[in-house]
Amino acid sequence: MPSTIAVRISEVTEEATGIRSLRLVAEDGAPLGPYEPGAHVDVVGPTGVLRQYSLCSPPEDPASLLIAVKREPGSRGGSVALHEAAVGDALEIGSPRNLLAVAPDADRHLLVAGGIGITPLLSMAYALHRDGAEFSLLYFARSRAEAAFADLLEEEFGDRVHLHLGLSPEEQPAVLGASGTGLSARSHVYTCGPAPFMDQVGAVLGDVVGADHVHTESFVAAEIDTEGGTAFTVELDSGEEFEVPADRSILSVLSDNGIDVFSSCEEGICGSCVSGVLDGVPDHRDNCLSVADRAANDRMALCVSRAKTARLTIELY
C-alpha cells in the first residue's frame, strides 16, 4: 500500500453491540482532512492485516478521521485486532478513496443503511446537511442496541432520520416503497449494507429513480464468476502489450511484469485498482463500480474484471 500515513488512535468509543469507533490522528500532527463524503481508507492494523473502512467523521474536519469497526466472528484478524486496540496504538492508513460520491445534480438524496452500512452514509449526511440539500436517511438494524450512531444521527439530523428496528427482510420492501414518495427521476439513492439488503433497495427504488441513480457500497466481496474466461490482450496507453491468460487477472499479469498498480483487496470491492478503459469492452465482475459506471465502460477493476473483446487498451490511474 503506497503512500501510507502513520496515525495513532486518540479515542475509542463503543458505539453499539460489537461495534466500536476509532478516532485517528496523524503521528506528525498534520491534518488528515478534508475528504470527499462517502470515502474509505485502507487500514493496516496491529497484526499487519489490511482492511478497508469507511470514514464517518464530518468530511470537512481536518483534525482527525473516524472509522467504525464491527467485530466479525469469522474475521481473519482484522476486526478482532482493532477491537483489542487501545488509545495510543499506532496504525497505518492510505489516502481516502471514494466510490460513493454525492451526485451534485440530484433534486433529493435518499440514504439507506443496513447495520454497519451506516458508516459511509453518515459522512454523506454530514455533507448534505452542511450544504442544505434535501435528504433523508433510513436506517435498518436488528435493535437499537445494534444501531451504531443512532443517538448522534437523531441529534444531528432530527426528523430526516428514520430508524426501522427489528424488521424482517419480508417487511422491508413496504418501508422502502413508502420512502420513494417524493423521489423523482432526478433523485439519487445511496445504500450500504449486506448484499441481499442492497439488492432489495435497488429492486424497490430503482424503478422510481432509475437503476443508474442507485449507488451501492459493498464491504464484503460477492462470489466472483470465474467461468467462461478466455485469454485476451491488454495494451497500456504507453504502448506496452501483455497477454492475459484465461486463468490470470490483468492485475497479476501487470504486477509480474513490473508494472506498478495500486491495489488492496484484490476482490473487486475496494476500487483501488480501478483504471480507465480507452478501447475495447470490459467484462465487469467487480462489486465497486455503479451501474452507470459499468454501462459507460470507461473504467474497470483490474483485479477481477476481464474483457469481452480480444483487446483492451487501458490507462492506469
Residue-wise DSSP of 28-77: T--------TT-EEEEE-TTS-EEEEEB-S-TT--S-EEEEEEPPTT-SS
| Residues 293-304: b if buried by 16+ CB within 10 A, e if exposed | bbeeeebbbbbb
pLDDT band at 225 (very low <50, low <70, confident <90, very high): low
Q: How confident is the model over 160-205, as pLDDT tens digits? A: 999 999 999 999 999 999 999 999 999 999 999 998 999 999 999 9
Q: Which domains, and CATH codes, for the chain?
A: 5-93 (2.40.30.10), 109-217 (3.40.50.80), 232-315 (3.10.20.30)
Residue 93 in grid coordinates: 492508513
pLDDT band at 77 (very low <50, low <70, confident <90, very high): low
Q: How confident is the model over 38-57, as pLDDT tens digits? A: 999 989 888 887 888 999 99
- Answer whether 302's CB lies under 8 Å from 250's CB: yes
Q: How confident is the model over 235-286, as pLDDT tens digits? A: 999 999 999 999 999 999 999 999 988 777 788 877 778 999 999 999 999 8
pLDDT at 228: 56
Average pLDDT of the segment spanning 106-130:
97
Provide the 3-class DSSP secondary structure of residue 218: coil
If one counts every other C-beta atom within 10 angstroms of the C-beta of residue 151, the result is 11
- Answer whether 287's CB lies under 8 Å from 221's CB: yes
Residue 32: half-sphere exposure toward Cβ, Cα within 13 Å: 30
pLDDT at 2: 47
Helix axes 118-130, 150-157, angle to 10 degrees: 10
pTM recorded for the entire structure: 0.80
Partners of 165 in the beta sheet? Answer: 141
